[in-house]
């Protein structure tokens, strides 16, 4: 058995209850063997054993009171996966599905995503099984304060810099920042995605969605294609999906779908981004509300999806942008996309495609932008926020957006060049994995055995 297969088998055995972590490890390790063969120092230094084990994981009880004065208990986590390239960096997710295996998958992916950004940041992820849905603003604040009371000893602007993810946006980051400041007596850029009033960066809100479209444009340009006048399918209706739709319109494309956990919108006139922002960012409402406000929209509840399918991928499109959550495009979904002529999948969410779906894209030879490359715009602008905070400066929206465009282009070029060098020019997953892995592995070796 070769080195990567041996380590995969070992992980499958030891972490049998961490399905998403196993999936993420396989997705990376299964593409690495050619680089491992060419670089025997990686096995000699036990890099795979080391890189798949977080440097440190903290798990803690979060007790808080709801609006009725009852005591509530949740579990909080921070998985500090790898600091070879810089301070730990990665988001916080608040969602009832959160567990250690999900955060390990996200933290593991983040190592390579952050390496691809080229911006000297290590990989981490954290969060809680707290469900923000239906909670009042005061409850969210008390939860964030209780969460930070447990997390603050482990983070810092040169140690670990969290940000948002599912269920954690500007409001939550604000409360977390306020709590950190009061607990530590330090006003520092310890979180990113902050409000512009206290150190946030212009274009961070837009960065992941915009970046995911920029990545698609880079992939398409290499084939002489673009997005002008193209119908696009988008999933999710949160931060990433909203700004993906906004950028698609700006590129002359027409996004016609969005989804949330209760259903999907198909809007043949194109998603009205102003209404979507009103519904999701202001009213924190469901997509049924979008359908109320937009006569051209058709709403389909999840219960009416065909069995084992995500109906959004049945909508014929030139390009698909999965921007909701992991494993939201399965093999059948991918087959439906391809049968309808989809030419491009650019992943805004983390690990949105199952291994079978990815195999289908690669076999069909369409443009496939894997998450760790295509959605790296968010964390990249987070690093630009850290840079602005450290220097106490503010850049304009245009400056940040131009840097984001360059970063996405560089990531595309890195992944494409490496894929070509290893003999699979169309496999950006392999190119992104090998390019990022070698950089992290080389840094680990040079820093000695830890
Ligand atoms: P938000 O919380 O803003 O939005 C998440 C969206 O996805 C909501 O529409 C939500 O629907 C839907 N969703 C979440 N979980 C599920 C689920 N289990 N089943 C169906 N729908 C679901 O999060 P973001 O937009 O920030 O994140 C979306 C994805 O992008 C995640 O995979 C995240 O890890 C990834 N990402 C985010 C970055 C960022 O900067 N924010 C950066 C890079 C990647 P509902 O409201 O009904 O739950
Ligand atoms: O998955 C991700 O890259 C994020 N949620 C953003 C992380 C960050 O630190 O901005």
Closest ligand, as measured to the CA of 111: 2
Whole-angstrom CA distances from 229 to 83, 164, 338 are: 43, 32, 19
pLDDT for the residue 214:
99
The answer to whether residues 186 and 370 touch, using CB atoms and an 8 Å cutoff, is: no
Tell me: the pLDDT tens digits for 129-143? 999 999 999 999 999
Q: What is the pLDDT of residues 196-232, one digit of tens each?
A: 999 999 999 999 999 999 999 999 999 999 999 999 9
Number of the ligand 2 atom closest to the C-alpha atom of 161: 9
pLDDT at 361: 98
Q: What is the pLDDT of residues 318-350, one digit of tens each?
A: 999 999 999 999 999 999 999 999 999 999 999
Name the residue of 324, 351, 378 to mutate for ligand 1: max ligand atoms within 8 A of Cβ: 324
Q: Please name the fold of domain 3-187.
A: Rossmann fold (3.40.50)
Find out if CATH 3.40.50.2300 is the number for domain 207-365. no
The 10s digit of each residue's pLDDT in 23-57 is 999 999 999 999 999 999 999 999 999 999 999 99
**DSSP letters along 220-253, please?**
HHTTT---TT-EEEEE--SHHHHHHHHHHHHTT-
Q: What is the pLDDT of residue 375?
A: 98
- Domain extent listing, the chain: 3-187, 207-365
Predicted pLDDT of residue 247: 99
Atom of ligand 1 nearest to the CA of 262: 47
107/86 Cα distance (integer angstroms): 14
Q: Is 411 helix (H, G, I), strand (E, B) or coil?
A: helix
Whether the Cβ atoms of residue 265 and residue 231 lie closer than 8 Å to each other: no
Mean pLDDT of the chain: 98
Centre of ligand 1 to C-alpha 349, Å, is 7
Name the residue among 152, 187, 213, 154 with its Cα closest to residue 347.
213
Question: Tens digits of per-residue pLDDT, 371-425?
Answer: 999 999 999 999 999 999 999 999 999 999 999 999 999 999 999 999 999 999 9
Q: What is the pLDDT of residues 70-126, one digit of tens each?
A: 999 999 999 999 999 999 999 999 999 999 999 999 999 999 999 999 999 999 999
Mean pLDDT throughout 137-166? Answer: 98
Identify the nearest ligand to the CA of 206 by its number.
Answer: 1
Residue 123's nearest CA partner among 69, 180, 78 is 78
Check if 3-187 and 207-365 are the same fold. yes
If phi over 0 gives left and psi between -120 and 50 gives alpha, with beta otherwise, what is residue 308?
A: left
Q: Cα separation of 203 and 424, whole Å?
A: 34
Mean pLDDT, residues 421-441: 98
Provide the pLDDT for residue 407. Answer: 99
Rounded CA separation 401/315 (Å): 31
**Cβ(201) – ligand 2 distance below 6 Å:** no
Check if the beta carbon of residue 193 is closer than 8 Å to that of residue 200.
yes
């Amino acid at each position: 058995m070769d080195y990567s297969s041996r380590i995969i088998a070992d992980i499958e055995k030891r972490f049998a209850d961490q399905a998403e972590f196993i999936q993420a490890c396989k997705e990376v390790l299964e593409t690495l063997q050619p680089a491992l063969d060419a670089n025997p120092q990686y096995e000699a230094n036990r890099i795979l054993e080391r890189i798949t084990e977080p440097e440190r994981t903290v798990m803690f009880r979060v007790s808080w009171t709801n609006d009725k004065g009852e005591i509530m208990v949740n579990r909080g986590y921070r998985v500090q996966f790898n600091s070879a390239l810089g301070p730990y960096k990665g988001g916080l997710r608040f969602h009832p599905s959160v567990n250690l295996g999900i955060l390990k998958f996200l933290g593991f992916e983040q190592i390579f995503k952050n390496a691809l950004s080229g911006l000297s940041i290590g990989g981490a992820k954290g969060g809680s099984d707290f469900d923000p849905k239906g909670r009042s603003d005061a409850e969210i604040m008390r939860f964030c304060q209780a969460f930070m009371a447990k997390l603050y000893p482990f983070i810092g602007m040169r140690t670990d810099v969290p940000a948002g993810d599912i269920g954690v946006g500007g409001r939550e980051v604000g409360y977390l920042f306020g709590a950190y400041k009061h607990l530590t007596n330090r006003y520092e850029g310890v979180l990113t995605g902050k409000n512009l009033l206290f150190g946030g960066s212009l274009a961070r809100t837009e960065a992941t969605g915009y970046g995911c479209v920029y990545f698609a444009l880079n992939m398409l340009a290499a084939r002489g294609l673009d997005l002008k006048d193209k119908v696009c399918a988008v999933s999710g209706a949160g931060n990433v999906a909203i700004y993906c739709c906004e950028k698609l319109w700006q590129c002359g494309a027409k996004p016609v779908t969005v989804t949330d956990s209760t259903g999907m919108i198909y809007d043949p006139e194109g998603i009205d981004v102003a209404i979507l922002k009103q519904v999701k960012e202001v009213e924190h409402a469901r997509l049924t509300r979008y359908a109320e406000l937009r006569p051209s929209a058709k709403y389909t509840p999840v219960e009416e999806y065909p069995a084992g399918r995500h109906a959004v991928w049945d909508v014929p499109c030139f390009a698909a942008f999965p921007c909701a959550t992991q494993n939201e495009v399965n093999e059948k979904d991918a087959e439906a996309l391809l049968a309808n002529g989809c030419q491009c999948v650019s992943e805004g969410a983390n690990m949105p495609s199952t291994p079978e779906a990815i195999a289908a894209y690669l076999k069909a030879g369409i443009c496939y932008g894997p998450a760790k490359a295509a959605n790296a715009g968010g964390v990249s602008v987070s690093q630009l926020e850290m840079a602005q905070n450290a220097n106490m400066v503010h850049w304009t929206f245009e400056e940040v957006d131009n840097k984001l465009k360059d970063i996405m282009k560089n990531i595309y070029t890195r992944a494409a060049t490496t894929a070509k060098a290893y003999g699979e020019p169309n496999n950006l997953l392999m190119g992104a994995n090998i390019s990022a892995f070698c950089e992290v592995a080389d840094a680990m070796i040079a820093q000695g055995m830890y």
